Structure 1
Amino acid sequence: MQHQSSDRLLLIEKVLILKSLSIFSETPENILADLAPLMQEEEYEQDSLVFPEGEIGDCMYIIHQGKVRIHKNNTILAVLGEKEVFGELSLLDAETRSASATCATDCTLFRIDQEPFYELIDSRPEIARGFIKILCQRLRAQNEKSVQSNN
């Protein structure tokens, strides 16, 4: 009986992790409870490559613990920390990765794969709405940057 309650607690913990992400902050908890079981926990050692630039991506990652460097060759584009997400475009569109991801420290990551995510979107369109909103915000911010750099 003890084992079952620890599984349930883990589901609640995963829901809270999802809720803390900007992508899902406005998604109701009962919907996140359907997404939480798709989160596959993975451990990486410092300097491990999560994925190389140019690889076809079909999953996104959530950083639970540690820091991840996003880089092209030796140029660091970003260093991401706990509760940040990377590779999320691959959930919607299986294209090649635009940059590499390497663990800057020992990391615990949650992976969400595209196929089960698509199946979930069919029954839970609210999850897709959260994604679309974040992507629109990023696009607007990118447009702002390019307008400012042209002035």
Structure 2
Amino acid sequence: MTIAGIDLNMLANAGFPLASFEPGEVVFAEGDKGDKMYVVRSGEIDIERDGVVAETLSAGGIFGEMALIDGSPRSATARAKTACEVAPINEKSFLFLVHETPFFAIAVMRTLAERLRRSVPRG
């Protein structure tokens, strides 16, 4: 299955298995140490800031990328809205993916740019 420019089966076969979450289960909480990003394989994930859902992601969506890239604490909480399966991507698997699938890096940068544009007040 190819999502966000990557083959999730290739990732699992390289020793980076998928993770499952039940509805309401927290993937990570605001303030947690960030050492992974995630790609949604199935289901939906809510991204919450101050207890308010800011975004809902479905298959192909990525989240947690800022903390992986800069090592800062999580700026939001990610919670399973439905039963879901995600691919956790740590720095080692991120570098593997960028090497094997260069488009993956572009997909991550586009997501970061889109979220940054949405967060900047217009005026």
State the TM bucket, normalised to the shorter chain.
Answer: 0.7 to 0.9
Deviations 1:12-67 (A, max 9, x none): x3xx22xxx2xx4xxxx8xx69x733642011111000000001111111111111
Tell me the distance in 2 between the aligned counterparts of 1:120 and 1:84: 16
Amino acid at match of 1:110: A
Deviations 1:51-106 (A, max 9, x none): 00001111111111111111023211111111111111233221111000000111
Say which is worse superposed, 87-96 or 76-85, in terms of deviation.
87-96
Pair 1:91 & 2:68 matched? yes
Structure 2 stretches of 5 or more lacking a match?
Answer: none
| Residue in structure 2 matching 1:111, options 88, 98, 107 | 88
Amino acid at match of 1:94: G
Q: Which of the two has higher C-alpha Rg? A: 1
Tell me the distance in 1 between the aligned counterparts of 2:15 and 2:114: 25
Say which is worse superposed, 57-66 or 111-120, in terms of deviation.
111-120
Aligned to 2:27: 50
Tell me the distance in 1 between the aligned counterparts of 2:115 and 2:26: 27
Aligned to 1:78: 55
Task: Report the CA distance between 1:109 and its aligned residue.
Answer: 0.8
Tell me the distance in 1 between the aligned counterparts of 2:31 and 2:80: 18
| Residue in structure 1 matching 2:110, options 122, 128, 134 | 134
Aligned-CA RMSD value = 3.0
Aligned to 1:100: 77
Tell me the distance in 2 between the aligned counterparts of 1:44 and 1:111: 12
Task: Report the CA distance between 1:139 and its aligned residue.
Answer: 6.7
Task: Report the CA distance between 1:127 and its aligned residue.
Answer: 5.6
Equivalent pairs, count: 120
The answer to which structure has the higher strand fraction is 2
Aligned to 2:46: 69
Tell me the distance in 2 between the aligned counterparts of 1:139 and 1:78: 10
Quick check: 1:38–1:117 contact (8 Å CA) kept in 2? Answer: no
Aligned to 2:18, what secondary structure does the other structure show?
A: strand
How does the TM-score come out when normalised to structure 2? 0.76
Q: Cα distance 1:87–1:48, how it changes in 2: closer, same or farther (>3 A)?
A: same
How does the TM-score come out when normalised to structure 1? 0.63
The answer to which structure has the higher helix fraction is 1
Q: Cα distance 1:115–1:94, how it changes in 2: closer, same or farther (>3 A)?
A: farther
Q: Cα distance 1:88–1:140, how it changes in 2: closer, same or farther (>3 A)?
A: closer
